[in-house]
Amino acid sequence: MMLKRLILLLFLILSIIFFSGKIQKEPLNPTETIQVEIRGCIRKPGIYEMKLGSDMNDLFQIAELSDNADISAFSLNSTLYNDQLVIVPETDEEKKVSINSADIQELCTLPGIGPKTAQKIIEYRIKYGSFLSLEEIMNVSGIGNAKFTKIKELIAL
């Protein structure tokens, strides 16, 4: 009886060793691709499916930048992430303050925008993401129609 158990155990061990070399294990890879949306001063706006690890330069090549695209605020080697929104401004918007990327000091250069309101704009961006239109800035507490009218020609996405 003991000999049968020993033979059975030995057979089981040899089977495990034999079959473990035959089984191919695939690495866990949750997502091979990401989706990124690009708008603004480009020839082919839209949502692109990109390889995981793609960078901003890859996206710009696919979307084909317009001649007057201003990409100075972008790092070409920054890695893209899933569901990212990229808005490329025009070069003539360089003089304008970007409500999607300006810091407190830049926002304070706008008429009627002080440090507290500038901080509220930044907090709004953090909470809700990039502004999708200039008018959306009126959702920030302290910016109504009158203040928006004063700054709308001075701001850009």
Weakest-pLDDT range from 50-59, 65-74, 90-99, 143-152: 90-99
Rounded average pLDDT over 41-60:
94
> What residue ranges of the chain are covered by domains with CATH 3.10.20.600?
29-92
The torsion angles phi and psi of 100, rounded to 5 degrees, stand at -95, -15
Pairing state of beta strands 33-40 and 84-88?
parallel
* Overall average pLDDT of the 79-98 stretch: 84
Amino acid at 126: I
CB 42 within 8 A of CB 90: no
CB 100 within 8 A of CB 131: yes
Share of the chain above pLDDT 90, in %: 65
What is the reported pLDDT for 148?
93
Greater confidence (108 vs 26) lies with 108
> Within 13 Å and on the Cβ side, how many CA atoms surround 148?
14
125-151 residue pLDDT tens: 999 999 999 999 999 999 999 999 999
C-alpha of 119 from chain center? 22
pLDDT digits (tens, 9 = 90+) for 110-124: 999 999 999 999 999
Residues in contact with 11: Cβ distance below 8 Å, sequence separation at least 6, in sequence order:
none
| pTM above threshold 0.95 | no
Count of C-beta atoms within a 10 Å radius of residue 109:
11
Q: Looking at the structure, give the CATH architecture of the domain made up of residues 29-92.
A: Roll (3.10)
Average pLDDT over residues 45-54: 94
Rama region for 64: left / alpha / beta (φ>0; ψ in -120 to 50; rest): left
Pick the CATH number of 95-157 from 1.10.3720.10, 3.80.30.10, 1.10.150.280, 3.40.630.30: 1.10.150.280
Mean predicted confidence (pLDDT) in 7-31: 61
pLDDT at 93: 45
Give the pairing type, strands 97-98 and 33-40: unpaired
CB 70 within 8 Å of CB 91: yes
Give the chain's mean pLDDT. 86
Residues of the chain with CATH 1.10.150.280: 95-157
Lowest mean pLDDT among 19-28, 46-55, 70-79: 19-28
Provide the terminal-to-terminal Cα distance of the chain, rounded to the nearest Å.
82
Q: List, in sequence order, the alpha helices (H) in the chain.
A: 2-20, 56-63, 104-107, 115-128, 145-151
